[in-house]
Amino acid sequence: MAKIVFMTTGLLHEPWGHPQVREFEDRIAGVFGGAASCQGFLGLRWPPGDSTPLVYRTPDQAGRTANTLTVWQDLESAFAFAYAGLHAEAMGKRQDWFAHSEWPGYAAWWVPDDHEPTWPDVHAHFDRLCHDGPSPDAFDFKHAFGPDGQPYQLDREAAKVLMRRNKMQGVLTGYLGAWNEPDAATRRLLLDRVWAPDGHYTDPGSHATDLAGLDAIIGAFHAANPGAVFSQEGDFDLHHSHVRFFWHLTLRPGVELRGMDYAQVNAAGQIKTIVGFF
C-alpha cells in the first residue's frame, strides 16, 4: 500500500509574531483540527529538524516561511481538504499574509505505507518539483502521478463527495462539541456555527424549537451531569439533506449510554432538525 505526503509552504510578508500575520497564526489550530476529522486523513507530521525549504534559505527570508506536512490515504482526500472548509477559506486570504513567490505553494508524492517523512526528504522532493517540474517524485494536482509512477487523473467527482462528507463531519463535530462544552458563551459560539436559528430538537425527554431552546437544554444537562462527555461512534450515513449518526455518552465512570440521532441540514449545511433515540 502507498499513501500521499502533502506539504504546503509559503513566504510570509513578515516574520512569525508580526501583527500582519497574526490572523494567519490564529487560524492554524482550527485548520488542522478540522483536518483530523477529514476522510482519508492519516496524520499531521512534524519531524525534527529545519522545516524551511531550500529555496527559502536566504537571509532576508529567515523566520518568514510557513510549512505544513500531512499524510493522506489518497490524492482525492488531500485535494478535498485543501480546497474546501477552513483550509480553503484561509487560502482565499493568502495574499493578505503571503508574498508572491515564483515557487510552488505545495507538493505531493507517494510513499510506502510504512514510510515516515523527514525534513531532508521533504526538501529534496519539493526542490525537484521547483527545478525539474512535476514527476512521480513530486507533483501538483493538475499534473499528478499514481503510486505506480504513471500519470494520474484526479477523480474530481470523488473529491466533491469527500468535501461534502468532510463538511458534514465538521458540523457533527461542532454539534457534539457543544454538548461537551460547559461554558455557556463558548457553547453558544459552537451552536451558532452548526445550528439553524429555527432548528428543532427532540429526544425522548425534551424538545426545543429554536437555538436558544437547545442551548437551554444543553445547559441544564451540564448542570445535572458535570463532566459528562459525548463522542461519535463510527462513521455517519448521509444522503441528500438527511444524516444518521451514532453516539456514546459517558455520564460518569461506569455509567454509559448509547444512542442514535437522525438529522436534517439546510442549504447552508446547518442542522435544522435532530430527533434523538436512546
Domain termination residue (choose one: 154, 184, 212)? 154
* 203 belongs to a structural domain: yes
Distance CA 81, CA 102 (A): 24
* 74 belongs to a structural domain: yes
* 9 belongs to a structural domain: yes
Burial 131-159 (b: 16+ CB within 10 A, else e): eeebebbbbebeebbebeeeebebeeeeb
* pLDDT for the residue numbered 152: 98
Q: Domain tally for the chain?
A: 2
* 159 belongs to a structural domain: no
Q: Output the domain CATH number for residue 248.
A: 3.10.450.50
Q: Grid coordinates standing for 225? A: 451531569
Longest dimension (CA), the chain: 65
DSSP states of the chain as a string? -EEEEEEEEEEBSS-TT-GGGHHHHHHHHHHHHHHTTSTTEEEE---SS----GGG-SGGGTT-EEEEEEEESSHHHHHHHHTSHHHHHHHTTHHHHB---SS-SEEEEEEETT----HHHHHHHHHHHHHH-SBTTBB-STTEE-TTSSEE---HHHHHHHHHHHHHHHHHHHHHHHHT---HHHHHHHHHHHEEEEEEEEETTEEESSHHHHHHHHHHHHHHSTT-EEEEEEEEEEETTEEEEEEEEEEETTEEEEEEEEEEE-TTS-EEEEEEE-
Number of Cβ within 10 Å of residue 72's Cβ equals 24
Domain termination residue (choose one: 109, 127, 154)? 154
- 270, amino acid identity: Q
* 219 belongs to a structural domain: yes
Distance CA 21, CA 19 (A): 5
Same domain for 173 and 141, yes or no, is no
Q: Quick check: 211 and 272 in contact, CB under 8 A?
A: no
What would the pLDDT profile of 48-99 be if each residue is shown by its tens digit?
A: 999 999 999 999 998 999 999 999 999 999 999 999 988 998 999 999 999 9
What would the pLDDT profile of 176-212 be if each residue is shown by its tens digit?
A: 999 999 999 999 999 999 999 999 999 999 999 999 9
* 105 belongs to a structural domain: yes
Q: Output the domain CATH number for residue 37.
A: 3.30.70.100
Q: Which residue range forms the structural domain that includes residue 123?
A: 2-154
Q: Quick check: 164 and 80 in contact, CB under 8 A?
A: no
* pLDDT for the residue numbered 62: 87
Same domain for 214 and 123, yes or no, is no
Distance CA 276, CA 270 (A): 17
Same domain for 118 and 205, yes or no, is no
Same domain for 141 and 217, yes or no, is no
Distance CA 187, CA 208 (A): 16
Same domain for 28 and 136, yes or no, is yes
Same domain for 108 and 62, yes or no, is yes
What would the pLDDT profile of 13-49 be if each residue is shown by its tens digit?
A: 999 999 999 999 999 988 888 898 899 999 999 889 9
Same domain for 129 and 54, yes or no, is yes
Same domain for 139 and 189, yes or no, is no
Same domain for 141 and 215, yes or no, is no
Same domain for 97 and 193, yes or no, is no
* 87 belongs to a structural domain: yes
What would the pLDDT profile of 205-231 be if each residue is shown by its tens digit?
A: 999 999 999 999 999 999 999 999 999
Distance CA 211, CA 216 (A): 9
Domain termination residue (choose one: 121, 154, 187)? 154
Same domain for 129 and 248, yes or no, is no
Classify the phi-psi angles of 242: left when phi > 0, otherwise alpha if psi is within -120 to 50, otherwise beta: beta
* 162 belongs to a structural domain: no
Same domain for 26 and 149, yes or no, is yes
